[in-house]
């Protein structure tokens, strides 16, 4: 509620100076996306696609986080029952991701702050993403028994070498200029310059000219020294091969990566590797999203997802008891089952 007792909307939409502005406004939950927020954004963008008053869209946020993901607590609550509300959430969110991917006008997401999971899905598929020193990017889903969805099956295997596989399996966070160096943002600006940049964008200028003037060069990424190992190790055929190669590698970095993998859901990591390899092969974004909806529709009722949300977001003991406990015990059949066609597919 604001001072007048008017309910504040979790997504604000306005048109001014030929610019459509969408503002995420659920700061108390780090702007995590609800079904209603996804529906609201999709409805607004659909209307703006053919509205001559809108030349381009600016996507920004209230509060320190851009968007921490989806409302996975609500999805887990649904998954403990019949999972229907969770499926409705994923359907709405993935259709929004597709709408952004196919949007006929520029969309400029200002991702200065936490940008994880669902927050990546509403930014990375648009035409422009602006990072700052405060940007914190991650696809952390294997840590809660989920998988890197929201089009992760599209953009992660299309990153340089095996960088996307590394980020997806470990959930590693990238900060600031590394986000630009990895190709996840299209422009990188100083945090101190962001208010002036935003004011120019909202005044309806020439976006490429404006962004070019504020763009700051970024050097090599901080993970440059590990790229050879990332490509060699995360390019292996199976998850077991990757885990073994990390153990055998004589470096502190590789030992640490192996320790991180040991905390992630073995089932989620197996699903993720299969999903990224399949996503690399698929020709269209829509095919990838259909695959993701098949997986999400089932994984929302899986043991590891419910346990991961409990351990990380509800009880916060951060000691999930995964089933199975180890990589070697994940059956190929249990992974394969998630990829089978549904009676009602994503775009039906």
Q: Which two tokens stand for residue 302?
A: 């899986």
Active site residue 149: yes
Q: Is residue 141 annotated as part of the catalytic site, yes or no?
A: yes
Binder to ligand QUE among 10, 41, 54, 68 (CB under 6 A)?
Answer: 68
- Dist CA 134 CA 120 (whole Å): 15
Q: Does 62 bind ligand QUE (CB under 6 A)?
A: no
- Which residues are within 8 A (CB) of 228 and not within 5 positions of it... i.e. 6 or more apart? none
Residue 145 sits in the site that holds ligand QUE (CB under 6 A): no
Q: How far is the CB of 17 from ligand QUE (least distance, A)?
A: 33
The residue whose Cβ lies closest to ligand QUE is 69
Near ligand QUE by CB under 6 A: residue from 22, 86, 108, 146: 146
φ/ψ of 103, rounded to 5, equals -65, 130
Q: Which is nearer to ligand QUE, 20 or 308 (CB)?
A: 308
Q: Which two tokens stand for residue 250?
A: 């004589």
Which residue, 70 or 176, is less far from ligand QUE as judged by CB? 70
**To which H or E segment does residue 254 belong?**
helix 252-261
Residue number with CB closer to ligand QUE (63 or 235): 63
Residue with smaller CB distance to ligand QUE, 143 or 153? 143
Pick from 79, 113, 126, 140 the residue near ligand QUE by CB under 6 A: 140
Q: Compose the 18-37 pattern: x for residues touching ligand QUE by CB under 6 A, - for all others.
A: -----------xx-x-----
Q: Which of 60, 71, 112, 149 is catalytic?
A: 149
Type and span of the H or E element at 94: helix 84-101
**66 close to 126: Cβ distance less than 8 angstroms:** no
* Total of residues contacting ligand QUE (CB under 6 A): 17
**Distance (Å, whole) CA 77 – CA 49:** 35
Rule CB under 6 A: say whether 141 interacts with ligand QUE: yes
51 catalytic residue (yes or no)? no
Between residues 30 and 288, which has the closer beta carbon with respect to ligand QUE?
Answer: 30
CA dist 125 and 102 (Å) reads 9
Q: Which helix (H) or strand (E) holds 130?
A: strand 128-131
- Answer for which of 35, 37, 70, 207 binds ligand QUE (CB under 6 A) is 70
Among 83, 143, 151, 279, binds ligand QUE (CB under 6 A): 143
Query: Within 171-226, where are the H helices?
Result: 177-181, 194-202, 207-214
Q: Pull the structure tokens for residue 162.
A: 């095996």
Tell me the C-alpha distance between 304 and 324, whole Å: 9
With beta carbons less than 8 A apart as the criterion, state whether 306 and 76 touch. Answer: yes
Q: Which of 60, 112, 141, 178 is catalytic?
A: 141
Name which position in 261, 312, 330, 338 contacts ligand QUE (CB under 6 A). Answer: 312
**Stretch 105-134 residues interacting with ligand QUE (CB under 6 A):** 117
Q: Which of 228, 236, 240 is nearest to 160 (CA)?
A: 228
Residue 129, both tokens:
């993403």
Question: Can 118 be counted among the known catalytic residues?
Answer: yes
**Helix (H/G/I), strand (E/B), else coil: 117:** coil
Which residues inside 151-190 make contact with ligand QUE, applying CB under 6 A?
none
Q: Which residues are catalytic?
A: 70, 118, 141, 149
Enumerate binding residues for ligand QUE (CB under 6 A): 29-30, 32, 68-73, 117, 140-141, 143-144, 146, 312-313
């Amino acid at each position: 509620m604001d001072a007048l007792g008017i309910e504040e909307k979790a997504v604000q939409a306005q048109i001014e100076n030929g610019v459509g502005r969408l503002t995420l406004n659920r700061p108390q939950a780090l702007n995590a996306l609800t079904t209603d927020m996804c529906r609201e954004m999709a409805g607004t963008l659909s209307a703006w696609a053919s509205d001559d008053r809108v030349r381009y869209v600016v996507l920004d946020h209230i509060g320190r986080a851009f968007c921490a993901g989806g409302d996975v607590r609500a999805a887990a609550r649904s998954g403990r029952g019949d999972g229907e509300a969770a499926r409705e959430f994923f359907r709405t969110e993935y259709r929004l991701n597709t709408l952004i991917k196919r949007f006929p006008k520029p969309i400029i997401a200002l991702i200065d702050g936490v940008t994880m999971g669902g927050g990546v899905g509403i930014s990375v598929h648009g035409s422009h993403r602006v990072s700052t020193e405060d940007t914190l990017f991650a696809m952390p889903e294997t840590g809660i028994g989920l998988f890197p969805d929201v089009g992760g099956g599209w953009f992660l295997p299309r990153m340089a070498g095996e960088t996307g596989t590394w980020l997806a399996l470990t959930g590693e966070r990238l900060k600031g200029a590394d986000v630009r160096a990895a190709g996840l943002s299209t422009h990188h600006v100083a945090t101190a310059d962001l208010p002036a940049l935003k004011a120019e964008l909202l005044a309806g200028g020439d976006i490429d000219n404006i962004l070019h003037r504020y763009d700051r060069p970024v050097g090599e990424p901080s993970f440059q020294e590990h790229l050879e190992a990332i490509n060699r190790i995360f390019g292996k055929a199976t998850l077991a091969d990757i885990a073994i190669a990390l153990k055998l590698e004589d470096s502190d970095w590789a030992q640490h990566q192996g320790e991180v993998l040991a905390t992630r859901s073995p089932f989620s990591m197996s699903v993720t590797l299969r999903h990224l390899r399949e996503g690399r092969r698929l020709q269209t974004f829509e095919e990838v999203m259909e695959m993701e909806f098949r997986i999400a529709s089932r994984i929302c009722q899986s043991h590891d997802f419910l346990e991961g949300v409990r351990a990380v977001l509800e009880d916060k003991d951060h000691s999930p008891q995964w089933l199975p406990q180890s990589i070697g015990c994940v059956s190929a059949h249990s992974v394969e089952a998630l990829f089978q066609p549904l009676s009602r597919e994503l775009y039906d």
